[in-house]
Amino acid sequence: MLRGLKKLGAQISLYALVLLFVAFAVFPFYWMTVSTFKRNEDLFHVATDPAHNPYLFNLPPTLEHLTQLFFETRYVTFVLNTLFVGVLVVGITLLISVPGGYSLARLSGQWGEKLGIGIFLTYLVPPTLLFIPLARLIALLGLQDTLWSLVLIYPTFTIPFCTWLMMGFFKSIPKDLEEQALVDGCSRLGAVIKTVLPLAVPGLLTVVIFSFTLVMQEFVYALTFILSVGKMTISLGVPIALVLDVYRWGPLMAATLISSIPVAILYNLFLDRFIAGFTGGAVKG
């Protein structure tokens, strides 16, 4: 009886604790949602009025901020720009890091692992250390204020992480499969394409999702290279140039909400593989 109560108490405090953390984590997202659907008169009610509870809808909800976002701002342009850069960066990343990861896992012998770690470490070199020389380089190439500058530079952080991810992924596929295909007379490349690549599809998808979310999140390079509003990506354009008005929070929060949630859902699907990438060898099994 007493043990049962104690267990119940532990269960309740566990839930309370988790709930507290969840509340902290989701509060800004909750607030984005509330702000997206509130009428302006409700949203911009001064915070000294104790009778006006900002957590509730004091007036019926509205879609006015969403229509404003899509029809009166450049949000759709930002989305299209982000998609353009994202698709190209994902393509470049796949083309370069999938063969690279395979090479490190299977063909490079002893130094493969070391080289892999070396490549991974370059992921640590932050944009904030590189944006000044890269601004110089982009100017030299005549790419300033073009989306191509982002297409060229973003792979510098997607390739290291994805090559490392793919290396781990290829290592987890048994070697026998390719060897069997080789014995059956396939060429090395043919063997890889026929036997390994189909098994590596989850790994490839991880690379796609991860690269795309990194593109979605990047701010510093975009701020440095892009000047015209028409060339901005979501993460730059929404905070910098979406609505230049004091009472702009409705469409702004609508934009942050619609831009964050799809990325979050995609990322969550592949979470375990990202963790494996970050923890590398520090976790066994």
Tell me which stretch binds another protein (CB under 8 A): 1-9, 46-54, 68-76, 200-208: 46-54
What type of residue is 275?
I
Tell me if 220 contacts another protein by CB under 8 A: yes
| Closest C-alpha to 210, from 98, 285, 134, 103 | 98
**Count of helices and strands (H, E) across the chain:** 16, 0
Judged by CB under 8 A, which of 1, 2, 46, 201 binds another protein?
46
Shortest Å, Cβ 201 to another protein: 19
Tell me which stretch binds another protein (CB under 8 A): 7-15, 59-67, 71-79, 195-203: 7-15
Tell me which stretch binds another protein (CB under 8 A): 44-52, 58-66, 67-75, 199-207: 44-52
Judged by CB under 8 A, which of 78, 149, 155, 200 binds another protein?
155
Judged by CB under 8 A, which of 66, 85, 134, 254 binds another protein?
134
Tell me if 57 contacts another protein by CB under 8 A: no
Tell me if 54 contacts another protein by CB under 8 A: yes
Shortest Å, Cβ 84 to another protein: 17
Intra-chain end-to-end CA distance of the chain, in Å: 39
Shortest Å, Cβ 241 to another protein: 12
Tell me if 280 contacts another protein by CB under 8 A: yes
Tell me if 259 contacts another protein by CB under 8 A: yes
Q: How far, in Å, CA of 67 to CA of 84, rounded?
A: 23
DSSP-assigned states of every residue in 210-278: HHHHHHHH--HHHHHH--SGGG--HHHHHHHHS--STT-HHHHHHHHHHHHHHHHHHHHHTHHHHHHHH
Instruction: Supply 158's token pair.
Output: 């997607």
Shortest Å, Cβ 63 to another protein: 19
Which 163-192 residues touch another protein, going by CB under 8 A? 163, 182, 188-189
Q: What does the buried/exposed string (b/e) look like for 19-52 if buried means 16 or more CB atoms within 10 Å of the residue's CB?
A: eeeeeeeeeeeebbebbbbbbeebbebeeeeeee
Which 80-109 residues touch another protein, going by CB under 8 A? 95-97, 99-100, 102-104, 106-109
What type of residue is 179?
E
Judged by CB under 8 A, which of 6, 9, 59, 136 binds another protein?
136
